[in-house]
Structure 1
Amino acid sequence: MTINHQIHLVSRPAGEAVADNFHMVRTRLPTTLADGQVLVRHHYMSLDPYMRGRMNDAKSYAAPQPLNEVMQGGTVGEVVDSKSPAFAVGDKVVGMGGWQEYQVVDAGKPGMLRKVSTEHVPLSAYLGAVGMPGVTAWYGLTQIIAPKEGQTVLVSAASGAVGSAVGQLAKVRGARAVGIAGGPQKCAYVVDELGFDACIDYRQHADLKSFSQALKQACPDGIDGVFENVGGLGLDAALQRMNAFGRIALCGMIAGYDGQPIPLQQPQLLLTHRLRLEGFIVSEHMELWPQALTELATLVGTGKLKYRETVAEGLAAAPEAFLGLLKGRNFGKQLVKLV
């Protein structure tokens, strides 16, 4: 337990991110903890699209990922040593331990660690459906789109960790859920397992006319809310089909994460349809996390909120798994298993 393996960001991408941007290093853990510290052994770490934006040295809602330091990100694990009265050896915890096997945490700092129960919710789910992705879905749907019963909600990246939760939460509220995903397998999962009303395979629609026609068939009464994770052609098509006073929760724009521009083809539709478009960062709304997590944990624990995980084995697999995530190779939540 004296050696800790970490993955650092050692260079910034010039366009598309590559494996050489990362490097694994070995570090030594302290032999003894200071008062108030705990040692956490990470069981799983989270890979998320937002990490790509933080690899750039550019102004954004969060500071860039520092070079030659541990890649930052969410983790779940177990306390293996403690000098804090708040945590005991064996406690299961959620934190932001980053891409590494262990972390020494100052347990006295607010928000550093949160104890969780695995009685009804698997530990890995606290990085997905009952974690940041789930809360992201909950916030964008309930606070921005706020669908009424019978309205139609369109969700891009519908088979992913966030999108899959959006559609199911919309269905709980009596709305229609229509997904966009890549490939027949993912679309079948979205409809048959997650319960969406329809799913559009974006790979079958290479131009705006074709995509818009597919949306017209899937959303015969128009679109009242869009949960946008991708941007690009799908958003252009959605704007053409939106009802007056529709709402767009802008969560991600993965189509532009490598730096290429993604202009809107018809931005005037925002005006003519009197649309509300709001970007949001879920970490800026911590006051609502308890409410969201309570609903999400209840739905997962009772089997009413389904999710899927793609799990890479071992820390060394993290860079390639992350690059695959950016290209849509994952199915559901992308995790790295460390234990």
Structure 2
Amino acid sequence: MITNRTLLFLACAVAAASAVGGRADAAEVQSFLEQRAANAAEALVRPFQAQGKPLTVGLKAFSYGDSGATSPFLRTCRDAVSAALVASGKCKVVERETARLNELLQEDKLREGGLTAGSGATLLGNLLEADAMLFGKGSETEFRFRVDLELLSTTDGSKLATAKLDFVKDETPVGQLKPAMNAEVLAATQLTASPQPQGKGELEVGILSTRAHNPVYGSGELVQFRVWTNQDCYVRLVCIDASGDKYQIFPNRYQSDYRLRAYQEQVIPGPDQPFRYRIVPPFGTEMVMAFAATQPFDLPGFGLKAAGSFTQIDAGAKGLIEGLRQKGVGIFDAGGSYAEGHCVLNTVDAEEGKRGAYVPIR
């Protein structure tokens, strides 16, 4: 639920919940993931067994498909694979969180969702001074969750090796980590990876939390968003939580003006704004989308109703996004421009982490 002056971030990934077949402790979960990661690392390094020196590998955040959306579970998988590659003795791993790369991400010069192959591997690899880049894409069915791994050359973007992490959801350690993403959030991540309608003016809008891409927040922490555009326009922020509920969180009861100036980054909520977004249970992964247009626009036909300080939207993620894109076409026809942006948030229960109820997330 959304409470007054509080944005309740609902999510579905790492939670300390019992799974089918009983509960595993943190050591068992860690051992389970380490074994799966070791098998994957063996497949990835096999082509380089005869190489004289270790291969320098750069790591990008694992994501759901090409969406750029990650989760605590995918972060745990990434860390396990990273450790297994180092343990193999055939790889030197360089982290993606370098100062220069973070600077570029902050400036929105790199679009995470598009850096999945080819030129993306070359660009990131050069920034990290790596021989190869490792990408991980998560996907799921009713009974299984899978992470496909690709090792790409930073010279020409060619595929060097592949591997996968394959899990049955009802396996105790995996069930305890809850890798599944709510269908509504998953639909939103897939749609954000698809082409947006194009119009005159090439309006752009960007949104990040003040912790940049795919941040992790603990319970009780405050969240702020950095929003910027390249033209004077109107911007609405919609939170899609892991239960499938959707809320317009900006504009809201405390701020009705949703106009932004070109090239003037706005922090929401700012220090002079009378509302705050605070992390409260339950925890996991969610998405916040920015919808922008050079003309005023609203959200008609989506079953809007007041929900504390914000507005609840009674529509599916697919219907909401496609409906706004259709509205964007109308704005184009009237000589205006429309654009979208999004960011992904991950939240964890700090107290549960301290008690070792699940594998700690970096």
**Which structure shows the bigger proportion of residues in helix conformation?**
1
Of structures 1 and 2, the one with the larger relative CO (CA 8 A, separation 6+) is 2
**What is the TM-score with the length of structure 2 in the denominator?**
0.27
**What is the TM-score with the length of structure 1 in the denominator?**
0.29
